[in-house]
Amino acid sequence: MQYEYFNWQFFSTTNFDIYYYGKGDQTAKEVAIYLEEEFDRITEVIGHSPFFKAKVFLYNSVNDLQQSNIGVNQTSHRVGGQTNFTKSFVEVANPGSMQGLKENLVGEVSQMVLNDMVFGGSLSDMWQNTYLMNLPEWFVLGASEYLAKGWDIEMDDKIRDLVISGKVKKLSNLTGQQSVIAGQSLWNFIVENYGKSNLNQILNLVRVTRNEEKSISFTLGVSFKQILLEWQEYYSDMVIAVEKNYTSPDKSFAIERLKGDELFSAVQLSPDGSKIAYAINDDGRYSVYIEDLVSKNKAKIFTGGDKLLNQKVDRRNPLLDWSDDKTLGIISYSKGKNVLWLYDLETKSKLASSLDRFDQVSSFDFSGNGRLAALSATRNGQTDIYLLSVRRNKIRQLTKDYYDDLTPSFIPGTNTILFSSNRVNDTINSTVHELKSFTNNYNIFAFNLDTTRRVLARLTNTISKDFGPVAQDESTIYYLSDQKGIINLFKYDLSKKIYSQITNFENNIIRYDINFSRSNGVFTMSRGLRENLFYVPNVKLKENVFTPLTPRQAQLQARYLSERRLLSASKRRSAPVIVNITEPEPAVSDTLSLDSLQFADDSVKKDSIKKEEEEALTDIIDTDDYVFDQEIVKKTEKTESFLSNYRRVFVEDKKPVGPNAYETRFSASNMVTSWVIDPLRGFGILLETEMNDMLENHKFYGGVMATTNLKSGDIFAEYQYLEQRIDYKLRFDRNVWYLDYSEELRQRYSKNSFEVGASIPFGPKARVSVNPFYMFTRYQDLNFYNLIPNPEDASKIVNSYIGFKSDFVLDNTQVLGQNMLTGTRMKAEFSHYESLNDKSRSFSKFTLDFRHYQKIHRSLVLAGRLYYGSYLGKFKHNFMIGGMDNWLFKNDHASGTPWFPEVSEENNNIYFLDHVTSLRGFDYNTFHGTNTLLANVELRFPLVRYFYNGPIRSSFFSNLQLVGFFDIGSAWTGVSPFSRDNSISIITVGDDSFVAEIQTFKNPWLMGYGAGLRTVILGYFMKFDLAWPIEDDNTGKTKFYFTLGHDF
């Protein structure tokens, strides 16, 4: 859903076109240079170099990325065969830090190169790999994640959690994020124990074997089963080592345990320590809760966002902090913009302030009086610290460079702000901008608002990630750090100039808050594969614990020391560099008037750190990325691989060229082949294709359906313009019916329509469309005996219509697989056809289709549908109820009325035939009428997937479903079947002189029940059903259905 217009431009290099918008030109240049350097490493590791120039679209935030059209309206499961063409572009959002942007870039580009290697090539290769290649998530996504992050601390924490759960014993059973983490850890195990050179051999071999297990086994010379055992033992030993020295939190402290993929985006204690505010994010949909620690009452006070599947969402959204005991600050997105809400607990009212000057806000903290707020926010690709006047909504920028400045907080009673940064010097306006210079080493810095100097005070100086500082007073701060290999709480005493470890939990602390007046605290942690919220009523703030390094941290540190031979530098880092944050200027109270603050850029001063110290600080390593970072001491020898030599000979200049304007270029997206069985025209073959530009702002659809005699069929072409919030389309349809029943009864009907339309979305799940159209129909009488005297005398009748279609669509379903959904769908449509030749042919039509899919247990789904339709106006057409769509080997109708034509007479119903399905147990057109009502209930039971959670290679068994169903419906003209005197139960007899109505007491409802099987065969979704019909309270003979396509 678009809220903004993006004016795309791009810089070009040898291997990439980097697209950006707004003021992201400098970031785009740096990304281009960084990716060119990383491209050599990625292709070297994977062992494959694409033949195309990759396009990278940079978004300033995840919120902006969600406005992209790429992937929107894609059908992941089709009735027939679909061949998707590999794409040569990726979309990457700035997550709020340069380090995070680097990881996202490498991960997306790695996945693109892997997909091209595995699924790309010629059209025949794409077709074969689409149907024959079925690689699990852990293999491809795990590899790209490993290339981007290596052996990072998040993976190390989660794989230990997976090992404890026992799920690693069945790797193939893992799905989603657990599968990716397991894959990343398995690739890490292979590199650590068998060597990095085996990685590209495995990846290249899988293209030949089309089996990841055989590729790993053949390359390493060990059975895949043995590899899994070694992998499990490798991380199990780490679990044992960690459990010896680390503890788990008291289970009695747990107050909230989340479900599935839910995450805590924020958690905060109120200033008086009596309440907890926390936010839960469920794939983009979030809720904010406040829990009273005294009464234990919990209330949901705020909701927002939309649950988006298969899309990137900002999992940190929303952010929370208390302005005072009665006011909670909430920062989130609204209509594409950042907004600060102040929620009053007493009046339950919200006061909103726009923060549209920022692309995104990563964290914020109110001052003691709530008048000021320190924000870590991203603007023009840079994440800096800003000062916000809450009342005046004025902003002052405090830092201004490409280093990441995160998690700001005020020191109570002062005008000093603490924050975490990966900068290597204390200058605010550093000129460093190369992405390769930024690491994952973050330290704590202090900035005094009253100073005129453009320098910071460094408080910690470690080779770890220190973040989330919270000050107890001017001399004591608490913060999170991963310096021992697990993120725990640390304390830094400014007066004694020492730090100490406060907690020794065996899992990472993700978010935390401490109330020093009550000495209580809260924190979130992932345990048991789910995030948990813990409340500690009495935090032992003076406790000092010691823990050894985790096996990962010890191994990486040992490798670093041996490779760099910088033991002296390591000793220098073992103690933090202490800098006194007290400025020579007199202290100013926290009630400082904002008018006295200068909201403008001060002059830039030279770095206060000496050149020798800066060089030493630059030598800090990133232990999370040790495998793939460039060497600090540049190697003089050149790599002798073929790819490296090729690039060294033919590629010299990597300087970005541009900017250039975005050019709309079209390429084929997919091709679909399917079978169609029309109730009147019989068997046909459908060919569809789609073309679009890279951003999918312009889409072309086209298709042809032809019957076996090539005399009947359909043609359609559609163009969609999706660049703005309102979507527009142009569409042409041509339908032809050639009816040949005898030499006398031979007719051709055709319908041509031209349609324009506009669609207005109301969020990602609802929209309203209005589509005016012009249509004309043509009838030709091909009676053999009429054509013999003069073939030019074939009777032709042409009628023209103008009208419109308007519909409302609501869809919040989630696709679980072929024919398997959860959620609700609804479509209400009204259309009007105004005849220009004969006003008596004008009519209107209203339909309502409501469907709900309820997940009962695991993948067992109960599906229900209610359909209602009614024709209105002067010429009321008919709904024909009965049968199933795409019914093979059967196109009989129970009745010839209203569709069967008469000799040399046009049947106007044929143009607007409306078969209402599925009503199993009956033929087509068992009942017909100007109104219809149909209800369906199905219990869909996936026979194999229900009992087996892991990936299933066979599409036949993966999609094998047992279905039990019950259908009931009716079609009528006049009085509805809910009345005793309905039009079905009463028949009229007599002639012009005598007419009588006879009440037959016939049951107006048709019912069918039975069971069936569904699966995919040769790429086509097929259904086999046995149904027993119930008509007029009598059960009829069993009817067999062999059909194509999904159920409702």
Instruction: Note whether residue 675 is domain-resident.
Output: no
Three-state secondary structure call for residue 1010: strand
Question: 132, 133, 185, 131: which is closest to 163 by C-alpha?
Answer: 185
Is 437 in the same domain as 421? Answer: yes
Q: Residue 398, CB half-sphere, CA atoms under 13 Å: how many?
A: 29
Structure-derived torsion over alpha carbons of residues 58, 60, 64, 68, reported in degrees to the nearest 10 = -10
174 burial via Cβ count (<10 Å: 0-12, 13-18, 19+): buried
Is 333 in the same domain as 398? Answer: no
Question: 378, 377, 373, 406: which is closest to 390 by C-alpha?
Answer: 373
Predicted local distance difference test score (pLDDT) of residue 759: 94
**Strands across the sheet with 466-471, in order?**
466-471, 476-481, 488-493, 498-501
Question: 379, 305, 307: which is closest to 335 by C-alpha?
Answer: 305
Predicted local distance difference test score (pLDDT) of residue 654: 62
CA 789: distance to chain centroid?
67
Predicted local distance difference test score (pLDDT) of residue 309: 73
Angstrom distances, CA of residue 805 to CA of 270, 608, 651, 750: 54, 70, 56, 20
Predicted local distance difference test score (pLDDT) of residue 601: 37
Is 162 in the same domain as 259? Answer: no
Which domain-ending residue is among 215, 245, 275? 245
Is 311 in the same domain as 362? Answer: no
Predicted local distance difference test score (pLDDT) of residue 795: 66
Structure-derived torsion over alpha carbons of residues 357, 363, 365, 370, reported in degrees to the nearest 10 = 40
Under a CB-based contact definition with an 8 Å cutoff, are residues 31 and 58 in contact?
yes
Q: For tokens 């087509």, name the residue.
A: 924
pLDDT digit string, tens, across residues 407-448: 999 999 888 999 999 988 887 877 777 888 888 889 999 999
Instruction: Note whether residue 622 is domain-resident.
Output: no
Separation of alpha carbons 264 and 382, rounded Å: 25
Q: At what angle do helices 137-149 and 153-165 cross, to 10 degrees?
A: 150
Is 167 in the same domain as 92? Answer: no
Please list the alpha-helical segments (H only) found in 868-926. none
Other residues' Cβ atoms within 10 Å of the Cβ of residue 793: 11
Instruction: Note whether residue 91 is domain-resident.
Output: yes
Question: 159, 177, 171, 170: which is closest to 236 by C-alpha?
Answer: 159
Predicted local distance difference test score (pLDDT) of residue 4: 82
- What values do phi and psi take at 510, rounded to 5? -90, -50
Q: Which domain holds residue 647?
A: 7-70+82-130+641-663
973 burial via Cβ count (<10 Å: 0-12, 13-18, 19+): middle
Angstrom distances, CA of residue 827 to CA of 647, 727, 912: 55, 18, 20
Three-state secondary structure call for residue 121: coil
Q: What is the DSSP letter of 911?
A: G
Instruction: Note whether residue 636 is domain-resident.
Output: no
Separation of alpha carbons 24 and 2, rounded Å: 19
Separation of alpha carbons 97 and 605, rounded Å: 25
**H/E element, 637:** none
Predicted local distance difference test score (pLDDT) of residue 534: 95
Angle ∠(616,617,621) on CA atoms, nearest 5: 100
The CATH number covering residue 20 comes to: 3.40.30
Token duo for residue 110: 């790695």
Under a CB-based contact definition with an 8 Å cutoff, are residues 526 and 157 in contact?
yes
Is 138 in the same domain as 204? Answer: yes
Structure-derived torsion over alpha carbons of residues 732, 676, 713, 841, reported in degrees to the nearest 10 = -70
Under a CB-based contact definition with an 8 Å cutoff, are residues 749 and 708 in contact?
no
Is 1048 in the same domain as 942? Answer: yes
Separation of alpha carbons 356 and 333, rounded Å: 10
CB-based contacts of 1-5 (< 8 A; 24+ apart in sequence): 1/66, 1/67, 1/725, 1/761, 1/763, 1/764, 2/67, 2/69, 2/723, 2/724, 2/725, 3/67, 3/335, 3/336, 3/337, 3/725, 4/64, 4/67, 4/336, 5/723, 5/724
Is 104 in the same domain as 253? Answer: no
Separation of alpha carbons 912 and 919, rounded Å: 20
Counting as low any pLDDT under 70, the low residues of the chain are 71-87, 120-133, 560, 563-654, 785-795, 949-951, 990-993
Q: What is the DSSP letter of 346?
A: T
Predicted local distance difference test score (pLDDT) of residue 568: 58
397 burial via Cβ count (<10 Å: 0-12, 13-18, 19+): middle
First-residue to last-residue Cα distance in the chain: 26
Separation of alpha carbons 928 and 971, rounded Å: 5
Under a CB-based contact definition with an 8 Å cutoff, are residues 897 and 879 in contact?
no
Separation of alpha carbons 131 and 129, rounded Å: 5
CA 85: distance to chain centroid?
20
| Structural domain total, the chain | 5
Instruction: Note whether residue 730 is domain-resident.
Output: no
Other residues' Cβ atoms within 10 Å of the Cβ of residue 663: 9
Under a CB-based contact definition with an 8 Å cutoff, are residues 880 and 896 in contact?
no
Is 489 in the same domain as 449? Answer: yes
Instruction: Note whether residue 677 is domain-resident.
Output: no
Under a CB-based contact definition with an 8 Å cutoff, are residues 671 and 688 in contact?
yes
Other residues' Cβ atoms within 10 Å of the Cβ of residue 568: 7
Instruction: Note whether residue 630 is domain-resident.
Output: no
**Global pTM value:** 0.82
Is 87 in the same domain as 139? Answer: no
Predicted local distance difference test score (pLDDT) of residue 791: 56
The CATH number covering residue 558 comes to: 2.120.10.30
Under a CB-based contact definition with an 8 Å cutoff, are residues 414 and 583 in contact?
no
Is 289 in the same domain as 157? Answer: no
290 burial via Cβ count (<10 Å: 0-12, 13-18, 19+): buried
Angstrom distances, CA of residue 403 to CA of 194, 283, 427, 431, 1038: 36, 29, 11, 10, 73
Is 1035 in the same domain as 902? Answer: yes
β-strand pairing of 914-916 with 879-881: parallel
Three-state secondary structure call for residue 665: coil
Handedness of CA 499, 504, 508, 509 (dihedral sign): negative
Predicted local distance difference test score (pLDDT) of residue 569: 55
Q: Residue 248, CB half-sphere, CA atoms under 13 Å: how many?
A: 12
Three-state secondary structure call for residue 519: coil
Separation of alpha carbons 977 and 742, rounded Å: 38
Predicted local distance difference test score (pLDDT) of residue 272: 92
- What values do phi and psi take at 951, rounded to 5? -60, 140
- What values do phi and psi take at 681, rounded to 5? -95, -15
Predicted local distance difference test score (pLDDT) of residue 351: 92
β-strand pairing of 337-344 with 350-354: antiparallel
